[in-house]
Each structure stands twice: as structure tokens, then as C-alpha cells.
Amino acid sequence: MSTPIILRLFITTWMAMFLSSCATVHESYSPDGRIAYSLNCSGTARGWDKCYSAAGNLCKGLGYDVLSRSSEDVAFSSIGGSFSNQVGSFGGSSVKTNERAMLIACKSGSSSNTHTENSGSSQIIAKAPTNLTFLPPTGWEPKPLSDRMRQNGVFASALNRTIDCGTAISAIPKSSISDIITFASTRRANQAARLTNPIPSEIVELKINGRHAVRFEVTGSIPSSKGQFTYQQTIIEGTHEIAVTETWCYTHNFQRNAEALQKLPEAISGL
């Protein structure tokens, strides 16, 4: 077998192995307020079973909803070559792979660790051991928390169906954060890493209910989902806790309702 053929086979085989890796997972949020997972199980030696297996491992007994699914055959070219007596010879070949991706969200589980208190037409949502509460403004309805949301410190979640936006509020011990700007920078980078072609904003400082706060936005696309989303995070320093409000919408809805969305963190009390 000639050297050029060996090179082409090596490169082609390596690419096929690379493109057939196990399902990769990126975490984000779905438009209805749930944590969503973008799964990619592309490759010549893998199939949809890898994506479904990853979805089952993520959601366990809760089950899951498939929000979107896409598949496409893509051909990649490879180049091989050799030199003999200062004369070069080159050749090319191609390998076809299957691009497979899906977006899923776990079904809502038990919310036994949360409680709601009626207050007129609204509900105050709280979760022990935090002292914080969130009173959703008019138009926002409370949503049950998944186990994963609670594990991440989320104590309240709400959805506005009119403008198709969601929000999640988490509480973090202040003692675990040495610098709020550094903390915000890390969260901004993490959010950008979950999106395709992310566009992060600057981190701005402001006052919310008399408390020092910082805010940033990241706009981009969720892998395997159509449309562009904008995520806004507002981080408020309390006496003993840090409150993080994360709000997300389709970008065109966010732009139309930016002023109202920026006021959402004002509904947090107990800081």
C-alpha cells in the first residue's frame, strides 16, 4: 500500500473516530422556564440511542420532553500526501458523518422542598434555608422547581406566557463570594459558553432596593434550537446572601420588554 493511501486512510479513520464521540451536553433554559439540555450525538459510528441514553441519564425517572430534533448528513474532506526524491504527490478523500442534535427538558418533578403562600392574586415563593422571597409581578406565574434547579440554589421560578419569558432566582451565601465583579464575570463566561455565537454585554453596577448590584446580558443561539435568545443576570448583594436573578427571552421579546424585565429583581425581599 502506497504512503499517500496510508496517510489518507489514517486521517479519514481519525476523523471518523473523532466525529463519533459520545453525546455531548450543553445546559441552558427552555422558553417555558425549565432547564434544557442540548445533546449532540453526531458521528458515523453513533446513533440517536446515544442522545436518548444521555437524556435518560440526565432526567432519570422524571422523564423528558423532546423540544427539537435535527439530523443532517455532512461530508468532510481529508488530504494525504508523500514526498519521494523531492517530488510531491497528494490526494484527497472524503468521509460522511451524520450530524444529530436534539434539545430536551426534564419533566417537572416533586417540589416538596418548596412552599407557596397566597397573597391576594399573587404567590410568594420561598425555599428553606434561604430567607429570601420573591413576589412575582402581575403577568408572571410561579413554576415548580426541578431537583437540579434546587441543587443549583434556585428558590423561585416564574413564567410570563404573554411575552414568552422566564426567570429563575437563586440564593448564594455571601461568605462564598469574595468579589461580586469576578463572580459576575465567571457567570457571564459560563453563560456565553452555553450559546452559539454569544454576544456578551459589559457588566454594569447599579442599586436595587438600596442594595449594590451588578448586571449583564448575553445574547446568542441555543444549539439545536431555532431563534436567538437574550439572557440577563442581575446579582444583588445582601447582608448574608447574594441573590441572582436570571431572565431569558427570545431576543425580540427581550428588546420590547427590557424595562419591565430589568425591574424583576425589585420583587426580591429579605436581603
Domains in the chain (CATH in brackets) are 3-106 (no CATH), 115-269 (3.40.1000.10)
> Exposed/middle/buried for 271, CB within 10 Å: 0-12, 13-18, 19+?
buried
Rounded to an integer, what distance in angstroms lies between the CA atom of residue 54 and that of residue 143?
Answer: 25
Rounded to an integer, what distance in angstroms lies between the CA atom of residue 162 and that of residue 261?
Answer: 13
* Cβ atoms of residues 51 and 26 within 8 Å: no
* Cβ atoms of residues 91 and 8 within 8 Å: yes
* Cβ atoms of residues 69 and 111 within 8 Å: no
Q: For the whole model, what pTM was predicted?
A: 0.59
Q: What is the pLDDT along the chain (271 residues), one digit of tens a residue?
A: 444 443 343 333 333 333 344 667 777 777 666 778 888 887 766 678 888 888 888 887 778 888 877 776 655 444 444 444 444 444 555 545 577 888 888 876 543 333 444 433 344 444 434 688 888 889 999 888 888 888 888 888 999 999 999 999 999 888 888 899 999 999 999 899 888 899 999 999 999 999 999 999 999 988 767 789 999 999 999 988 999 999 999 999 999 999 999 999 999 988 8
Alpha helices in the chain (DSSP H): 3-19, 48-59, 147-151, 180-193, 251-256, 258-262
Picking from 242, 247, 267, 269, the residue whose alpha carbon sits closest to that of residue 257 is 247
